[in-house]
């Protein structure tokens, strides 16, 4: 009885503190929506526009995946040593120039899709590219709710070439590029969580839309598991530059993902993600928050993170694809216990294209 009373007192105190918090930070927009800052009200219609005209009504489809990739290719055009505008939307505003860079192969699909919506949104290119990435990612179950900072000025110039890592690059070269943009090896691995909602169109152009894992519509840790499985096939027209043997028919494995999963500087960060959804989303969210404001004067940006839709959660344990088990894992971090995972029943799957 006394315990029940104590519980309800604690509950009422907690609820009251939440109300006070809400009252102190909430602003009611003319459309009835609530946000922490009046300046963010203008973004609600843009979120609706993105969902309707770009993301097929809120899907975690190809446009959502590509919007995330675009935010990386835009932002990484930056160096702590003074090069490039970073997360400024230059990749959209100067798409003719940046689409011609080798590492931006296939990016024209998403810049072409985004451009008319961008014009309609009336946002700057930087705000548009990074809002689209946050909203598109939120459509994928399991994803973190990414931050969104509002108020980037228009980009001044295209990013310089050779800032975007290529799948043919060595781990040393990739980590050096990330370090030059201000990211540690652990943060680089965290950013690669994005490849859980990814597919390749141009690595092997004979098989467009070939996913990097068996659950391309879910932001789970499956990609960290499947990149570690012994590979034995190429999903398309033999071996292409930047591609290595894959474990599953219909699945593409990037040479860079595999090399990073096996390298002593990154292998433990990679393996630690397997079946640790909380770790993955926490680290990915933090690294994305840094990426999406690279090169920006953050003191001038308004925090509009609360206009980003709340993603559906993903809480179940991941599984080995059918026929695979622990004996197929190429462990590169022996000091870390590998999680016990069940195996999907049935014959080995063929992963369909997206
Ligand atoms: C070592 C660094 C990276 C390399 C070498 C790399 C390389 C690639 C390649 C080759 C593709 C397939 C392109 C195609 O054939 O269509 C791809 C797709 C993708 N990448 Fe990365 N990537 C890297 C890091 C990142 C990061 C940091 C992000 C985001 C934060 C990202 C997000 C994506 C997404 C979402 C796709 C799928 C796009 C789609 O399905 O349309 N990548 N990446």
Q: DSSP for 7-26, please give it.
A: HHHHHHHHHHHHHHHHHHH-
Angle at CA of residue 42, ends 39 and 46, nearest 5°: 140
Residue 65 Cα to ligand 1 midpoint, Å, equals 9
Spatial distance between the Cα atoms of 65 and 136, rounded to a whole number of angstroms: 7
Q: Is residue 12 part of a domain?
A: no
Domain range holding 50?
39-328
Give the predicted TM-score (pTM) of the model.
0.94
Q: Is residue 338 part of a domain?
A: no
Using CB atoms within 10 Å of the CB of residue 38, give its burial: 0 to 12 exposed, 13 to 18 middle, 19+ buried.
exposed
Q: Is residue 22 part of a domain?
A: no
Spatial distance between the Cα atoms of 163 and 182, rounded to a whole number of angstroms: 13
Residue 11 Cα to ligand 1 midpoint, Å, equals 45
Q: CATH no. for residue 140?
A: 1.10.520.10
- Catalytically annotated residue among 73, 81, 130, 232: 73
Strand partners for 243: 254
Count structural domains, the chain. Answer: 1
Q: Is residue 216 part of a domain?
A: yes
Handedness of CA 311, 312, 317, 322 (dihedral sign): negative
Instruction: Cite the DSSP H helix spans in the chain.
Output: 2-25, 43-53, 62-75, 90-93, 95-98, 107-121, 125-138, 171-180, 185-191, 222-226, 255-262, 267-272, 277-291
* 40-96 residue pLDDT tens: 999 999 999 999 999 999 999 999 999 999 999 999 999 999 989 999 999 999 999
* 272-299 residue pLDDT tens: 999 999 999 999 999 999 999 999 999 9
Q: Is residue 18 part of a domain?
A: no
pLDDT at 83: 83
Q: Is residue 265 part of a domain?
A: yes
**Using a 6 Å cutoff on CB, does residue 252 contact ligand 1?**
no
pLDDT band of residue 21 (cuts 50, 70, 90) is very low
**Using a 6 Å cutoff on CB, does residue 58 contact ligand 1?**
no
**Using a 6 Å cutoff on CB, does residue 108 contact ligand 1?**
no
């Amino acid at each position: 009885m006394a315990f029940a009373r104590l519980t309800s007192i604690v509950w009422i105190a907690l609820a009251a503190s939440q109300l006070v918090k809400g009252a102190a930070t909430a602003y009611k927009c003319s459309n009835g929506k609530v946000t922490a800052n009046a300046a963010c009200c203008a973004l609600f219609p843009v979120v609706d526009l993105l969902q309707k005209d770009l993301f097929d009504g809120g899907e975690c489809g190809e446009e959502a995946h590509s919007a995330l990739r675009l935010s990386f290719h835009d932002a990484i055009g930056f160096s702590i040593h003074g090069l490039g505008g970073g997360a400024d939307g230059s990749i959209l505003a100067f798409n003719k120039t940046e689409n011609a860079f080798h590492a931006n192969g296939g990016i024209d699909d998403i810049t072409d899709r985004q451009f008319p919506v961008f014009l309609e949104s009336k946002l700057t290119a930087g705000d548009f590219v990074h809002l689209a990435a946050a909203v598109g990612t939120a459509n994928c179950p399991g994803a973190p709710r990414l931050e969104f900072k509002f108020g980037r000025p228009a980009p001044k110039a295209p990013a310089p070439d050779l800032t975007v890592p290529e799948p043919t690059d060595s781990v040393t070269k990739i980590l050096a590029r990330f370090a030059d943009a201000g990211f540690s090896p652990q943060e680089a691995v965290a950013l690669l969580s994005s490849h859980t909602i990814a597919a390749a169109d141009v690595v092997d152009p004979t098989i467009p839309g070939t996913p990097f894992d068996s659950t391309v519509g879910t932001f789970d840790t499956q990609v960290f598991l499947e990149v570690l499985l012994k590979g034995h096939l190429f999903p398309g027209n033999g071996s292409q530059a930047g591609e290595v043997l894959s474990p599953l028919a219909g699945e593409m494995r990037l040479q860079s993902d595999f090399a990073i999963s096996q390298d002593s500087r990154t292998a433990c960060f990679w393996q630690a993600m397997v079946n640790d959804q909380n770790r993955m989303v926490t680290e990915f969210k933090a690294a994305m928050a840094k990426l999406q404001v690279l090169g920006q004067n953050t003191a001038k940006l308004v925090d509009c993170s609360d206009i980003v839709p709340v993603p559906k959660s993903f809480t179940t344990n991941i599984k080995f694809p059918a026929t695979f088990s622990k004996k197929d894992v190429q462990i590169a971090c022996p000091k870390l216990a590998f999680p016990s995972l069940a195996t999907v029943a049935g014959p080995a799957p063929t992963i369909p294209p997206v």
